[in-house]
Amino acid sequence: MIYLCVGRRASIPYYIDTAGIGLYSAEELAYYIKENIMMLDASILDESLCKFIEKELALPELAGALRECVMSGGSITDFVETLMSKTNLASKDEIENMKRQLAARGSLSKSEKHRMKGDFLVKGGRYSEAVNEYNMALDEIDLSQKPNEAARIFHNKGVAYAELFYFSEASECFRQAFELNPTSQSSKEAYFDARALASGKVPESVALGDNVMERRYRRYLRKVEDGDIEGSQVILTELLNDMENAYRRSV
């Protein structure tokens, strides 16, 4: 389906804090909503967004309709449907699909919502904020009643810590994930790898894995010995990505 351009391109973007991005057009706003529909919350029902649409995008009628939706206590679903239908930036089927997804999100527990937001932040490289979301998710869950869900949160929290190079904290998260779900081979391997990295040793998955990963790890150690912190972090990030991909293949 082909969508026509709506309004004008903004000179000052609308900033989405949780995603760390700025939006310059109605098309970009619609695309962001479509791609992140499960992450939308009440913060989208915002007068500043209405002003952005009115002033920057030069769409006063749309801004008025959205403002009325906000002032009348409309839901996120009402807001999204109004935006998409009045701009024709989504088909009827796409709008109905978004409405179904928003309805499904409404049935999620607080823990699941925090975990999903944490996953979203990890995807955007905002690891410290992700850790905070995972902590809030764990505060909302009974570990004994939902051990698998708790294990998933601990594992993802460990990934966030690993991306921050906090390997001791990461290994502890992976250990807790494995204790809660002993069938999770990925959490078990991640625990031993993070523990090895925390102590400056070669992770078992690297030592037993392909030569590319092992050579990359040796390069990382040389960079550390040479005092090249920036270079070592670049290589370590590549290594973590290799390890994460290996975990995903094993799950």
- Give the domains, in start order, of the chain with CATH numbers: 14-106 (no CATH), 110-250 (1.25.40.10)
DSSP states along 46-105: -HHHHHIIIIIS--HHHHHHHHHHHHTT--HHHHHHHHHHHHT-S-HHHHHHHHHHHHHH
pTM equals 0.64
Q: What is the pLDDT along the chain (251 residues), one digit of tens a residue?
A: 444 568 899 999 999 887 778 999 999 999 999 988 888 888 888 899 999 999 999 999 999 999 999 999 889 999 999 999 988 888 899 999 999 988 888 888 999 989 988 988 888 788 899 999 999 999 999 988 999 999 999 989 988 888 887 888 888 888 888 888 888 777 677 676 667 666 666 555 554 444 555 666 667 666 666 666 677 667 777 766 666 665 555 44
Q: Are 232 and 165 in contact (CB under 8 A)?
A: no
